[in-house]
Amino acid sequence: MNVMGSAPTAHERAIRFTGNWREYLPIAASNVLLIIVTLGIYRFWAAARQRRYLWSRTEVIGDRLEWSGTGKEMFIGFLIVTLVLLPFFLFFQFLLPALVARGKAEAAGGVFMLFYVAILYLAGVARFRALRYRLSRTWWRGIRGGSDEPGWNYGGEYLGRIALAGITMWIAWPWMATALFRSRWNEMSFGSLPFRSTLDAEGLKRRWAGIYLIPLALLFVGGIAGATIGLGGRSASASAVVVALIVMIYLAIPLLTLHWYAKYYRKAAETMSLGELEFGFDATTWQWLKLFLGNIALAVVTLGFGLAYWGYRNWAFMVRHMHLYGEIDVTALGQSATRVPTEAEGFADAFDIGAL
């Protein structure tokens, strides 16, 4: 990775995380305390504090990132979304039961489907606008990111592709996920440089097929084994085989899904560019599994306090496995001309869409 006119030494990384858990401890502890005292309201300011720290400890080509978002704008965004979602809440609480009670089940079902479609559409808009907001609040060398697109068209695409994936029993998920990734990032920019993604489902289809085929194979083999043991008059052993089979399937599906996402993130990074810069990501399935198991163990051992460290651990993991290649002339990198959104990520917060 080269900044035009300045080549780093061999041991330097273009992107690196310099934070440590001891330094982050006072932020995590005070955030937890204030969230409890304020009955959860402080969580918006806690998120802003967390991001300011994480961004400030992330160096990209020798300069640190800056987070300019505030807890106030995130709180206001949440209030706006609460008003938008209020009709949905009132419908599910009062109107739907009333229609059913009056014998209008078909009308209730039709209205329910319309509301469900609207929720899916808003979830797509939320994903797009959350990315746009976070880029607009991320600064590097006085330059920020963003997008001029409001996300309404992406919401329609998200709805259509989710419906198609659902109709195919989620077999079309790799095509859906990769197409939506391209659509989001190809509308984003940083400074005067556009992001470009050529991500496709090639190389991901086999791993996704394994999520279906391996559990079915386990079910088939286990069924034959259980039937054979049962015919031999050993019903207790047959029951044990069935229980073991169920446990294996419940473990196999999430592990196979994680295996797919590990490849997905690597390929997503490899097919992404920003001007002349190219990206890389090298986290393996085993490394992802260690991250998740470590998060769970940390939360259990600390009786829940470790949850405050999940964002820190996830961010550090992503940055430490991220790579940048190529050259960039920072003197020619202009400021972004995209509009700075005044609203925060209230929709994303309502739909539980994480920062990563």
pLDDT (tens digit per residue) in 127-172? 999 999 999 999 999 999 999 998 999 999 999 999 999 999 999 9
| Number of Cβ within a 10 Å radius of residue 72 | 12
């009670």: which residue's tokens? 101
Q: pLDDT tens digit string along 321-336?
A: 999 998 877 776 777 7
In this predicted structure, the answer to whether residue 356 has a pLDDT above a threshold of 50 is no
Please state, in angstroms and rounded to a whole number, the distance separating the CA atoms of residues 185 and 82.
27
In this predicted structure, the answer to whether residue 104 has a pLDDT above a threshold of 90 is no
pLDDT at 55: 97
Closest C-alpha to 275, from 132, 136, 137, 143:
143
Percent of all residues in the chain with a pLDDT value above 70, rounded to a whole number: 87
In this predicted structure, the answer to whether residue 346 has a pLDDT above a threshold of 60 is no
Whole-number average pLDDT of the chain: 86
Cα Rg of the chain, angstroms: 24
Ranked by mean pLDDT, the top range of 230-234, 242-246, 347-351 is 242-246
Q: Position 237: which residue type?
A: S
Measured on CA atoms in the order 223, 260, 345, 35, is the torsion positive or negative?
A: positive
**Is the Cβ–Cβ distance between 164 and 176 less than 8 Å?**
yes
Please state, in angstroms and rounded to a whole number, the distance separating the CA atoms of residues 167 and 290.
34
pLDDT at 355: 41
**Is the Cβ–Cβ distance between 336 and 143 less than 8 Å?**
yes
pTM (2 d.p.): 0.86
Lowest-pLDDT choice from 111-120, 218-227, 256-265: 218-227
pLDDT at 233: 55
pLDDT at 282: 96
pLDDT at 10: 39
pLDDT at 354: 46
Percent of all residues in the chain with a pLDDT value above 90, rounded to a whole number: 61
pLDDT at 344: 57
pLDDT at 338: 76
